[in-house]
A = this chain, B = another copy of it.
Amino acid sequence: MNTTPRWLDAEERRAWMAYIDFSTLLGDYLNRQLRRDAGMTHADYTLLSHLSSVPDHVLGMSELARRLKITRSRLTHAVTRLRDAGLVDRREDPADGRGQLAVLTEEGIAVLEEAAPGHVDAVRRAVFDALSREQVRQLAEIGEAIGDALHRVEAVETDPAVLPWRRR
**Which of chain A's residues 132-149 have a Cβ closer than 8 Å to chain B?**
133, 135-149
Contact between chains at A149 and B121 (CB < 8 Å): no
Residues of B within 8 A of A85 (CB): none
A-side interface residues, number (CB < 8 Å): 59
Stretch at the interface among A1-9, A76-84, A94-102, A104-112: A1-9
Determine the chain B residues whose CB is within 8 A of the CB of A11 once the complex forms: 133, 136-137, 140
The reply to whether the CB of A73 lies closer than 8 angstroms to some CB of chain B is no
Contact (A147, B69) CB under 8 Å given A15-B139, A120-B6, A124-B6: no
Chain B residue at minimal CB-CB distance from A19: B143
In the bound complex, what is the Cα–Cα distance between A7 and B120 (angstroms)?
A: 7
| Residues of chain A at the chain B interface (Cβ within 8 Å) | 4-8, 11-12, 14-16, 18-29, 46, 68-70, 116-117, 120-121, 123-131, 133, 135-151, 153-154
